[in-house]
Amino acid sequence: MNHFALIPAAGTGERLGGQLPKQYLPLNGKPMLFYSVRRLCTNSRINRVYIVLAQSDEWFSQYDWKDFAGKLAPLHCGGETRAASVLNGLDAANSDIGAEDWVLVHDAARPCLSAQLLDKLLDELGDDKVGGLLALPVADTLKRADGAQRVLGTEARERLWQAQTPQMFRYGTLTRALRGMQNALVTDEARAIEGMGLQPKLVISDARNLKVTHAQDLPLADLILQSMEKA
């Protein structure tokens, strides 16, 4: 069975501020996007890696991607939302990918994915009928707040998981799922799959596979990457 990867990278990262989109912020001398690209491109089981960029993206071509030539394919077809970008990318790649092939969708702003976690996901989902995602059981106490940041109540955390990426599903199933949820709020691919009445499998991940969302996440990601490079 073939495996393909897709990185939606058309966002602006407004929560971090600044003029440079989040995926191009520097980490250890490279743009953040580089680390997601490298991890996926260097896995021998992944046939090709697609990056979905904004149509007006002017940064991607300024960096050197030659180490991944032949496997990396930029697509300038980003949408208004993450789900729209993923669906646009899947549609753009439809001549290369079969309906039963696997597609792994990974965040551009999740640079610390390890080779071991990626292999674990591929191994555990290889024979799964639905597919699934990396995730972590919620450990902290959860509070629900009002608009003034006052606590409304405490939420039970039993059986709650924090979704991560990559998320891995069959091309045909994922495309149909996203197309059917175009008018709904879909913040990850698993949500669209759930909308079809299917139950994605949760593959236990690692807290180091963090998503860079706020400015304080950058130095932590930097430290994790440095430790991974030394390992």
Give me the pLDDT at residue 224, please. 96
| β-strand partners of 180 | none
Task: Tell me if 216 is assigned to some domain.
Answer: yes
Domain housing 119: 3-128+165-198+210-230
Task: Tell me if 139 is assigned to some domain.
Answer: no
Give me the pLDDT at residue 230, please. 80
Task: Tell me if 144 is assigned to some domain.
Answer: no
Going by C-alpha positions, the residue among 6, 14, 1 that lies closest to residue 106 is 6
Q: Which parts of the chain register pLDDT below 50?
A: none
Task: Tell me if 119 is assigned to some domain.
Answer: yes
108: exposed, middle or buried (Cβ count in 10 Å: 0-12, 13-18, 19+): buried
Give me the pLDDT at residue 13, please. 58
Give me the pLDDT at residue 102, please. 98
Report the alpha-carbon distance of residue 125 to residue 133 in Å, rounded.
9
CATH number of 93's domain: 3.90.550.10
Give me the pLDDT at residue 1, please. 80
Give me the pLDDT at residue 140, please. 92
Task: Tell me if 156 is assigned to some domain.
Answer: no
pTM of the model: 0.94
Give me the pLDDT at residue 15, please. 54
Task: Tell me if 159 is assigned to some domain.
Answer: no
Task: Tell me if 158 is assigned to some domain.
Answer: no
For the chain, what is the domain count?
Answer: 1
Task: Tell me if 205 is assigned to some domain.
Answer: no
